[in-house]
A and B are shown apart, each in its own frame.
Chain A
Amino acid sequence: KQEVTQIPAALSVPEGENLVLNCSFTDSAIYNLQWFRQDPGKGLTSLLLIQSSQREQTSGRLNASLDKSSGRSTLYIAASQPGDSATYLCAVENTGTASKLTFGTGTRLQVTL
């Protein structure tokens, strides 16, 4: 059974810092990995999708990497802003599971002025 863990559970950084969020998964037979953000009282917003054959994806100040063999992904946020404050979730889709996502525990990020 796939298990997804995110470290740290919470993180507070001053504005302008670069930061890295970590995601690990126990079963390397994944089809893809997706990063989301969740704002308080809101649903999930898709940030980046990495297919199992890819090593990284970039969107603006966000860069996500994937090392399938070691069961790890990182989300790098450059030049953090207060608007980046949210909970970040990673989710993996295993091969043979038809788009079913297994979610991690989330990292709650606060970017302070």
Chain B
Amino acid sequence: SAVISQKPSRDICQRGTSLTIQCQVDSQVTMMFWYRQQPGQSLTLIATANQGSEATYESGFVIDKFPISRPNLTFSTLTVSNLSPEDSSIYLCSVARDRSQPQHFGDGTRLSIL
């Protein structure tokens, strides 16, 4: 299975600032995704990171708030912009080679907002 490195593992940020989270995979993968896990909740898909083109966002998530880059098949970033206390969550990236293979997750980024 792919080895996924997600950075930072945790951060505490001030209101109104932004945080960029990196996801690095040790091999090329077709599909990369970003999820949010709010406190005590399950995971919700934010967007699909598309290589070389704009990400595909799920209902309730917009590019201005969650800009995503994916410059190649092994790397993606998620930025959470204009941070507010409601953004305190765990953010996770996941990858899949194809639909017949399990989806694998990074260890997540724990974000707290002061």
Contacts and interface: CB of A to CB of B under 8 A. Distances in A.
A103 interface: yes
Contacts of A32: 99
Interface of A: 31-32, 34, 36, 41-46, 49, 51, 89, 91, 93, 98-106
Per DSSP, chain B at the interface is strand
Per DSSP, chain A at the interface is strand
A51 to B, nearest CB: 7
A42 B4 CA distance: 13
Interface of B: 1, 4, 6, 31, 33, 42-45, 48, 58, 92, 94, 96, 99-108, 110
Contact of A44 (B1, B31, B48, B92): B92
Contacts of B31: 98-99
A-B interface, 7 closest residue pairs, ranked by CB to CB distance from nearest: A44-B105, A43-B107, A46-B102, A103-B42, A43-B105, A49-B102, A103-B43
11 contacts: A34-B103, A36-B105, A43-B92, A44-B43, A44-B94, A49-B101, A99-B31, A100-B33, A100-B45, A101-B43, A103-B42
A46 B103 contact: yes
A34 B101 CA distance: 10
B48 A98 contact: yes
Given A43-B4, A43-B107, A89-B43, 15 more contacts: A32-B99, A34-B103, A42-B108, A43-B92, A43-B106, A43-B108, A89-B42, A98-B31, A99-B31, A99-B96, A99-B103, A100-B48, A102-B45, A103-B42, A103-B44
Given A44-B92, A49-B102, A99-B96, A105 B42 contact: yes
A31 B103 CA distance: 13
A85 to B, nearest CB: 18
B99 A93 contact: yes
